[in-house]
Amino acid sequence: MNNFYFTTFKELLTIDHFAKSWENIFPYQGEEFDEEAVFVVSDGDVDFPEHLRLDIDLGWKSNDQNWIKQFPGLQTQKSDELIEGIIIFGNLAVKGSILNEEGDYGAFLYVSGQVTCQSFVAGGSTIYIKGNIATEEVFISHYNHGYFKCDATVTSPVLIINDHYTYLNNYKADLFYYNDKTGEYPSENACYEDEETGEDWLCSPNLTKLLDNPTLTFEELIFDLNEGEYVFKKSTQLLTKDEGYWLSKAVKYWGNLKRIPHAIKTEHFFYKVCEKYGAFCFSYFPDTFLTRSLCKQEIQKKGTNLQYIPEHLITRELCHLAAEHETNISFIPTTYLDKSLIKEIIHYNDSEMDNVPEQFITEELLVDYVKLGRGLWLDKYCEIANVSKITVLLKALDSGIEYIEQIWGFHFRQEVYYYAKKLYDNKHHESVWNNYLAKFQKKIDRLS
């Protein structure tokens, strides 16, 4: 029976063979531990009954009962010290997978013997396995913040090293091998950059044909593995891939929207997904599911949702509704863009002026722009419109004394002050005028 206990890093270093192992990887992996850092240790072989998750945001506190109960022999502590890792002096047999989806961090894992598991995902953790590793399906190391070392042989049907500090003494991969750190892999297994997004690296067809789910990227493969799933098409332990399965996937991560099989994309399924993502999910489903009332409903939630509505379903009325709910000019089809829409949009966000087509930048628009607030880059826009900046400011003042606040605040100059004085220094505006004089007295004094 497994028997675990807590110990400190200082105590671990008194164990000769561990200390030598630590010296073997310390100069390369960049991890440092305080002497009093706490670890979980097992002296002897371990049979782990479920998935071993190394992501430290899933517990890893000495007072976390749900996390502690995975390790027979451990007692919940009063303190909430972070457990830095697991040390196994023996073999590790995991019924599920060893999972470190997080690429930036993870718990330290050291095994002096051999490891067997369903699949192995290595990310931000520091992992050192002295003996052989054998997986049923996939070994993948990903992202560049972690460190993985195996002194013996990694045997895995699929073996992927993607932008990760992974050092293998030997490996066996019968079905698929890819290693972008060395470049030593079959050319037909090459993965490549997505020309459309320029971001994701698409899996080789040699890999995707092995997998049961539509899987274009390593990110998608890691997501499925982190769910604890078997992923090979030939596996006898695949989950039922029904509506409930895909709905769960879609709700957990928006990136799975593009993976949903066509047969699952029913109108009922669409409305279920829409409850989670709203208009964001529209482009992943047939346009026939989109009604005018649904589009209007999503625009009323947020004007920028206009970007997700197919252009042939956009109307002038919908554009004005989006403007009232703070959309962006770039989301308005040029067919419907006019000065009233532009005024409405910049009324809520004056920085949208930078996206106004030049033919719409007129003296009238610039007067409204100045009245709205800061009027940044007014000189540039006046030059585009071939109008005088001072004319724009004076016409804005003509609109009412309430605009003095914005104009004096951001465009104070002699002509502007004296023109406002001419308009509003009178009995009718006496109280408001005097308030402005008091507020801007320092600027006024500098004129003289």
Query: Looking at per-residue confidence, does 102 or 376 come out higher?
Result: 102
- Beta-carbon neighbour count of residue 235 at 10 Å? 14
Condensed to tens digits (0 to 9), the pLDDT of residues 195-220 reads 776 656 789 999 999 999 999 999 99
Predicted confidence at residue 234, as pLDDT, reads: 97
Q: What tens digit of pLDDT does each residue of 28-69 get?
A: 887 789 999 999 999 999 999 999 999 998 889 999 998 999
**pLDDT tens figures, 343-364:** 999 988 888 999 999 999 999 9
SS (H, E, C) the chain: CCCEEEEEHHHHCCCHHHHHHHHHHHHHHCCCCCCCCEEEEEECCEEECCCEECCHHHCCECCCHHHHCCCCCCCCCCCCCEEEEEEEECCEEECCCEECCCCCCCCEEEECCCEEECCEEECCCEEEECCCEEECCEEEEECCCCEEEEEEEEECCEEEEECCEEEEEEEECCCEEEECCCCCCCHHHCCEECCCCCCCEECCHHHHCCECCCCCEHHHHHHHHHCCCCCECCCCCCCCCCHHHHHHHHHHCHHHHHHCCHHHCCHHHHHHHHHHHHHHHHHHCCHHHCCHHHHHHHHHHCHHHHHHCCHHHCCHHHHHHHHHCCCCHHHCCHHHCCHHHHHHHHHHCHHHHHHCCHHHCCHHHHHHHHHHCCCCCHHHHHHHHCCCHHHHHHHHHHCCHHHHHHHHHHHCCHHHHHHHHHHHCCHHHHHHHHHHHHHCHHHHHHHC
pLDDT value of position 58: 85
Residue 29's pLDDT is 81
- Cα–Cα distance for residue pair 3/389, rounded to 1 Å: 80
pTM of the entire predicted model: 0.86
pLDDT in tens, 120-135: 999 999 999 999 999 9
Confidence of residue 27 (pLDDT cuts 50, 70, 90): confident
Whole-number pLDDT of residue 198: 65
Give per-residue pLDDT as tens, 412-430: 999 999 999 999 999 999 9
